[in-house]
Amino acid sequence: MQSKRLAKNKIEQSTQVYLDISEIKNDAVILKDGSLRAVIMASSINFALKSEDEQKALVGSYVSFLNYLNFPVQIVVQSRQLDISKYLKNLDEAERDLTNDLLKKQLSNYKSYISEMIELGNIMTKRFFIVIPYSPIEDKKRSFFARLGSVFTPAQVIKLNQTKFEKYLGELNQRVNHVSMNITSMGITTVQLDTQGLIELYYNVYNPTVSAKQRLTDIDKLRTESSAM
């Protein structure tokens, strides 16, 4: 009987307690340890098409960028199968508006060709992200085994009041501006993910199969509906 109760408790316990994320707001991710994260999405550069001098200049700029950093950053490359659902939806709308039967048939054949090419070719798309952290306290006194143990146990949630949050957010935004400025000087376009973008990013990361079929509702729409109730 006791084993059944333990098994039931394990099933009812949500896996969310093992995630580091406590909340996402004001274009920042708040972790359970009280630290913050911002995420910048960056464009890519076709390094192979650059001349030798341009390649050396890019490498030099990147080395300088890393040397002047006084805080850690994480560079993430995300590979996903190319999603053309929106493109196909636009083609469907265009096909309905056509009155010429020949053009309709050609557009229908084109849609079939594109869908088959994506499916058979398994074409992937890559997105590049820079994760920028801010932690008010660097816990250097914890032993290696204490830090290792925290990996296998649920994180303790540290609540931030609004004053501390705004202070930490200001420090984080300064780091974001520093990184964006240096990355932009290398010819890379950057954009900081807002709250909606962060929610969608982590939703897609933790639910790769579900996210392909079930899209998230815009948070502004959710706020409107909740306020109306």
In a domain, 131, yes or no: yes
Do 58 and 12 lie in one domain? The reply is yes
Give the highest mean pLDDT range of 17-21, 91-95, 222-226: 91-95
The residue length of the chain stands at 229
Q: Which two tokens stand for residue 181?
A: 């400025």
pTM for this prediction: 0.67
DSSP classification of residue 153: S
180 shares a domain with 76 = yes
Q: Are residues 107 and 162 in the same domain?
A: no
Question: Residue 29 corresponds to which amino acid?
Answer: V
User: DSSP secondary structure string, 181-221?
Assistant: HHHHTTT--EEE--HHHHHHHHHHHH-HHHHHHSPPPPHHH
75 and 10 share one domain: yes
State the average pLDDT over residues 32-41: 91
pLDDT per position as a tens digit, 139-198: 444 455 544 444 444 445 566 678 888 888 999 999 999 999 989 888 899 999 999 999
Sort 96 into a burial class: Cβ within 10 Å, 0-12 / 13-18 / 19+.
exposed
Residue 217 located in a structural domain: no
Domain count, the chain: 2
